[in-house]
């Protein structure tokens, strides 16, 4: 059974945000599965993400990354190696578009799920909003996992976008996202998508470029 299509929800829009919080693996780059990207040679951008981030910057948005990197805490990757991966990410983004600059990269290397900064806990979300002096109501979180959406919700970010790159497609029961994106509420979810009910409402989109196009009101509603 496909996700229900309700026109009034498809018309709902988020305001252009002051702060855009992006998950990394599955949103910016291809998710390689456990234990994650542990070498910069594994890091490959999803198509169009550099251009998408540049568009946000051109509209005056702050753009930051919020990522769990427990591979460091498990000893599979040295801190310097993580820095090299993030330098490669920034290089590839700016290679695609010189204006695709990230304002900050927040990462948590903890293995302990009780760590307040580790998603689904909201520590990094709260930290980013505080650091940039931007209220959570003026932010948007773009992620591909349930834990991304949980961290955003717990951090007070009401505007949440799930992309279908990474794990998002499976979380939505392998049902393709609509274009333009749809605001998903709990009563729109079928059984195969029911785990997402705890983080509704959220927008369901194809990928980061589609999310940015919609956020910046570049698509017809």
Residue 25 among the catalytic residues: yes
Exposed, middle or buried: residue 201 (CB in 10 Å: 0-12, 13-18, 19+)? middle
Selected catalytic residue, list 23, 97, 148, 204: 23
Q: Given 3-state DSSP classes, what are the helix, strand and coil percentages for the chain, each rounded to the nearest 5?
A: 40, 15, 45
Alpha-carbon gap, residue 52 to 59, rounded angstroms: 11
Alpha-carbon gap, residue 183 to 161, rounded angstroms: 9
Residue 23 among the catalytic residues: yes
Work out whether the CA dihedral 84, 167, 188, 52 comes out positive or negative.
Answer: positive
Q: Can you read off the two tokens belonging to residue 43? A: 């890091």
Any idea which residue has 């018309």 for tokens? Answer: 11
- Please name every residue paired with 202 in a beta bridge, in sequence order, or none if there are none: 184
CA separation (Å) from 88 to 40, 92, 93, 175? 6, 6, 8, 33
Give the catalytic positions in this structure: 23, 25
């Amino acid at each position: 059974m496909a996700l229900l299509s309700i026109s009034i929800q498809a018309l709902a829009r988020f305001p252009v945000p002051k702060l855009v919080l992006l998950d990394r693996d599955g949103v910016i780059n291809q998710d390689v599965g456990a234990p994650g990207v542990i070498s910069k040679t594994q890091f490959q951008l999803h198509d169009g993400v550099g251009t998408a981030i540049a568009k946000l910057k051109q509209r005056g948005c702050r753009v930051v990354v919020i990522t769990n990197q427990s591979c460091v805490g498990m000893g599979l990757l040295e801190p310097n190696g993580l820095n090299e991966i993030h330098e490669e990410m920034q290089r590839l983004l700016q290679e695609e578009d010189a204006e695709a600059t990230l304002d900050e990269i927040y990462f948590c290397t903890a293995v302990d799920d009780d760590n307040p900064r580790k998603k689904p806990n909201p520590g990094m979300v709260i930290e980013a909003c505080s650091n940039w002096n931007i209220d959570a109501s003026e932010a948007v979180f773009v992620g591909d996992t349930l834990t991304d959406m949980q961290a955003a919700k717990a951090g007070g970010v009401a505007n949440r976008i799930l992309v279908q790159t990474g794990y998002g497609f499976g979380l939505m029961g392998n049902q393709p996202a609509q274009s333009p994106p749809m605001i998903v509420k709990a009563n729109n979810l079928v059984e195969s998508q029911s785990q997402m009910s705890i983080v509704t409402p959220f927008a369901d989109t194809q990928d980061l470029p589609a999310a940015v196009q919609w956020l910046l009101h570049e698509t017809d509603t």
